[in-house]
Structures are given as structure tokens and as C-alpha cells.
Structure 1
Amino acid sequence: MMVHASPRSTVFAVHALGLNRHAYDPVRRHLDASRRFVAVELPGHGEAPPLRQPALNAYVDYVVDEVSAQAPHGLLHLVGHSFGGVVAAMVVPRLQEKGQAVASLTLLGTPAQGGSVFLDRADAVERDGGMEAFERSTIARWFGDNPPSEWDPAIHYASHALRTQSKASISATWRALASFQGFSGLTTAPHVLCVAAEDDLSTPPGVMAQIVDAIESRADGHGQVSLKTLVKGGHLFPLTMAPEVARLLEAQWSTAEDSTRSRGSVE
């Protein structure tokens, strides 16, 4: 884990498939230094060992354990990007069952549900030469055909991160994502923010709007859920549009903390 120390509230952030904890470095540089920020590295990514039996719930269990081990008393915020958003959303009710106060959940470019498309990607990775094709197609899907030159550092980081992943880990993560049943059955945090980018080829704003609709459709109440859309950034907009994402996050966390404290939930 990489920690940005602070005494105030704690944020736990989960990165996208194929990346690692450094995916949040650009955003962290633009955050309020008084806030503790922890980037959780998913199993099989970066320096984290792979799971023995990789399945969606196993990734969730891993993140729950990581958060529980480092969570102080007080408010928590969860952030997740893409597959990391799915995991973060599933972590929230597990933490709530443990009595942890989760003030907010922020989903960045997150798929609304699993499905066969992700199984197809897992199969493609497992074929001979699949990893090379996976890297090419993923970079194109994440950044588009003609990305601006200012995105070069993000592309370089993403390409390097993808090349360090094993075929087994990538395939396992795709299969885990394929099994996700969607957001309508999840208990979420009181404040949920969905962030999309207009030019995101993987999870465009319409997909994020489906998440908002699914959360709002819950019969047992949902708190506040909103969708913010960036005009550009591609799928990796937390890297390419880091200052804008950081501003949205800070506003989300401050609003959630003020609301929670006004209800007297936290001393």
C-alpha cells in the first residue's frame, strides 16, 4: 500500500484492472495534504501476490481485510476506478456490517454490470500472443486513436503496468468482473458520486447513468447519488485529468463529512 498521511479522514482507493497503486499518484498530488489517502493494490497487480482462488468475492475479501487493517476510528471514503469501482462498491456493505462509518463512495469510469464481453476478453488473453494483443487493444480503448501529447505520461505508465501483469492475473480479473451482477442489489454509502468522461470508450456517461438509476431504484433508500461528467480524459481520466478529478473528490468528501457530522453520527 502507498499512504498519503493525514489526521483527518481516510480515503481508500482501488485501481483499475491491469494497473497498480501508482494509478492514483497524479490525483494524490492535487489533494488536500491534511487527508490520509491509501491506495490499495489489487491481488495479482503490481507487487501484490495473486489470489489462490480468484473470484470476485475473493477480491472483495482482500480489500476488506486491507481496509480493516489500516482503518482508524472515524469516517472512511471509498474510491474505485473501473473494476476497482465494482470492488469498492461491494466492500462498502461489508465494512458497514463491521460497524465502520463509510461516508461516501466514488465510482470512476465503472461498468454497470458484468457479462460475456469480459469473458471474451479473458479468453483472448489466454490465447497464444494474447497479452501483446491485449496491451494494444487496451491502450487504444483507454486513450482513443489519437490521444493528445499531454497524455503521453499516462500512456507510458499504463503500457508499463500492463506489460508487468501476468496472463493468469489479467484473465482471472476479467472473469471476476464478468460475474458482477450490478448495483441494484448493493447497499451503498450515504453519498455516492459517479464520474464519467465524454470520450471514455470503455464506460461512457450512459453506462455510469445506469449505475445512478440502479442505486436510485432501490426500495430501501439510497442517500444521495449524482453523476458528474468530464468533457475529456478517456477511460484513464484519473491520470489524464487528475486536477479536475481531485477537485470533484474533495468536494464529495467535504459534503459527505459535513452531512454526516450534522446528523451527529461522528463526534
Structure 2
Amino acid sequence: MFSLKGKKALIVGIANRHSIAYGCAQALKEQGAELAITYLNAKAEPFVRPLAEELGAQIIAPLDVSDHGQIDALFDQITADWGALDILLHSIAYCPMEDLHGRVTDCSRAGFQVAMDISVGSFIHLTRKAEPLMPAGGTCMTVSYFGAEKVVENYNIMGPVKAALESVTKYMAAELGPKNISVHALSPGPLKTRAASGIAHFDALLEQAAERAPTHHLASIEDVGAYAAFLSSDAAQNVTGGVHYIDGGYHIVG
């Protein structure tokens, strides 16, 4: 029904083969996209580089989004090697553990600032850098969670942070729509990823989600990837600004 052949995609957020970003990278590759894949630092590189090489990534580069120099260097390389970008997938979030495990009321100012900068601000920064490389249009995607909309036990400060991410998605979609650049938030149900493992009592959350979802199935990284591939295609060129639930219907059940 659609092809991503010739499209160039930047994937940010792969930590291992269980990462949502990895599922998305796989799906984009299967539909013909060319990939650029980043890894956080030297410690993460041995886990990410082999996956990037398996996927035939043409660009493999370090990216700590708190370092604006690394962001600039990455986009300089993309500009030099490709001259354009069609797809940006942002799948990163971070909060200091002591703030993540505490009440929202008790979140430190420093912890809140870090969580917002890494989880939300970086999506703005990367999209701003991607914009001039998308003169004919493109797709920018981030990853959210239902805890942005409703209070989810133990999700704590990441709920307000993800709510900000979803709001940023809508505002950037409105601003970039005239340039045919769509902006989306993918909202899968709970998935057993490395990032999610930091949430307290996460196994219980997984069980409850499977029970509650109408399909009684948790989403997989392949489910998220399939949706991301569709949104990246020309078939979805008139879709933008949405929070796309990929959760077996979890979000519709009261």
C-alpha cells in the first residue's frame, strides 16, 4: 500500500533490540527507508552499533541531546552525506531516579528541568534542526504514554512531562503544517523496555494493562513500528498533530 523507498530517516533512542526505536527502525527499513541511527555514549555504543549495522544504517553517530555540539555535528553529517531528511523519530526520555520515584509534589527543581529538557526540549531542538532538511515535507515523531492524559500510579513526574511533550507535538504540527511537515506523538501502552524498567512496580502495570485492554494484548515494538512506518509514508501526508494510541484499546476503557 505504501513505500518509504528513498526516504531518509533519523532514529534517536535505540538502547537495545527491545527499544521502541528499534522496532520503528526495523519497520522503516523494511519499507525501504535509509537509516541514520544514534547512540547515547561510548557505554551504549557496543549495544547499539551492531543493531545499526544489521539494519544497514548509513550513518551511525553519537548523540547526547543535552550536548548542543553533538546535535550540530549530527546534522552537519546528515547534511553532508544526504543533503536532506524525510523522517525524524525521537524516542528518548529521562528523569533522575529519585525524582521519578517520588511524588510530583516533591519533584526537585533540578530534576524537573532535566526531565523536561531531555524528554521534551530535545524533540523541539531536533525538529528545528530537521526542518530545513525537509524542504519538500517530512514526518517528525515522538513517543508518549497514556500517563500524560490520566493519572497512572507510579508514573509520577513523567505524566506532566509527557503531557508537555504532547502539547509541543500539537503546536509544532500547527506551525510546520504549511511546509508539509507532519508531527506526531505515538502512544503505545506499557512496554517492557529499558527506560520503562525504572518505573516502580512496572511488572504490575504490565499485567493490569493487559487485563484492561479490550484486546487483552500489550502492544509490541513491531506494532509501534508499523504505525510509525505508515505515518512516515505519503499515504499519511494529510495526518498531523495527533496522539496515536497503539495500546489494544487500553485508553478507551474507564
Shorter chain as denominator, the TM-score bin is 0.3 to 0.5
Give the TM-score normalised by structure 1. 0.45
Give the TM-score normalised by structure 2. 0.47
